[in-house]
Amino acid sequence: MVRAGASFQTTIGDVVRLVGIGVHSGKRVSVTLSPADPDTGIVFIRTELPTGRDVEIKATWKSVGATELCTVIGDPAKATIATIEHLMAALRGLGIDNVTVEIDGDEVPVMDGSSIAFVEAIEQVGTITQAARRRYVKVLKPIRVEQGAGWAELRPHNGSRYEVTIDFPTALIGRQTCAIDLTPETFARDIARARTFGFVKDLEKLLPLGLCRGSSLENSVAIKDDRVLNPEGLRWADEFARHKTLDAIGDIALSGAPIMGLFRSYRGGHRLNFLALQALFSDETAWALVDAVPGRREAPVTKAAVGRTVSA
């Protein structure tokens, strides 16, 4: 099991390469994860572009360009990378701070529709503890955003917790809640294997638009007439809520540092997850960047520290 220390930053132990197809493009994509120096964060490098020049895209909320069916980062005039949330969830879930991600296509491969392929690849090379204090984004006051019947919020909490509720008008799913205190153990055990899901009737509308071309029973849970079409069935009865929690972990990882707080949502999705982060960072009184202290989860927060780094 990969473990991440609470006090120091980490990176992966060696280079990892994965190959798969994009769920929307249907194209073969290669992704290479490499160790990175302290304070690098998660940085994507788009390769094999027509210009012959690679483009670097930092995995932060400021880089988000679209959130309709997945989370997309980058500048359309230069390069974009879609469907980053499952990989980002694996990195945040395993407590990895610094990695460079080289990718030769415009979409992270979907693998089996969950994060488990990324988790298992990283577990094979392990992690390295680095000589730099880990920093946390500490939520200081509640922030809430709403969109239609859905909402998402970030609240102060001594830890990193997610409470995600979904509510679908189908008896197969209905209302489900997934609540988890995020650690490498709980992520790998309870969240990483939860697959993306969709309704066949929606797929039939998206295919003519050039979307979901790579979707199949190998990488998605397909729902039709209130039943699961996948021969193997579900991995958990509440796999739907668990996957929405996986998505939320991946999207909130775009904070740029682990969140010290509680994320809650009802009928949320990529858009609301992004809006919650945007609202948090738009209010300098709502958060502080704090350094970890040995033997403690974070450094004390002072009023003067709000919205900037606090020295331990």
Annotated binding site for Zn(2+): 86, 243, 247
Pairing of strands 99-103, 309-310: unpaired
Q: How far apart are CA 57 and CA 80, in angstroms?
A: 8
**Cα angle, residue 244 at apex, residues 141 and 11 outer, rounded to 5°:** 75
Among residues 270, 274, 286, 305, which one is catalytic? 270
Cβ–Cβ < 8 Å for 11, 97: yes
> Which residue ranges make up the annotated binding site?
86, 243, 247
CB atoms within 10 A of CB 15: 12
Q: Which residue has the tokens 């502080």?
A: 288
Q: Of 140, 240, 146, nearest to 197 (Cα)?
A: 240
Cβ–Cβ < 8 Å for 275, 71: no
Q: How far apart are CA 22 and CA 32, in angstroms?
A: 15
Q: How many CA atoms lie within 13 A of 165 on its CB side?
A: 10
User: Residue 140 corresponds to which tokens in the numbers above?
Assistant: 């200081």
Q: Is 24 designated active site?
A: no
The DSSP letter of residue 190 is: I
Q: Of 201, 212, 297, nearest to 258 (Cα)?
A: 297
Residues labelled as active-site residues: 270
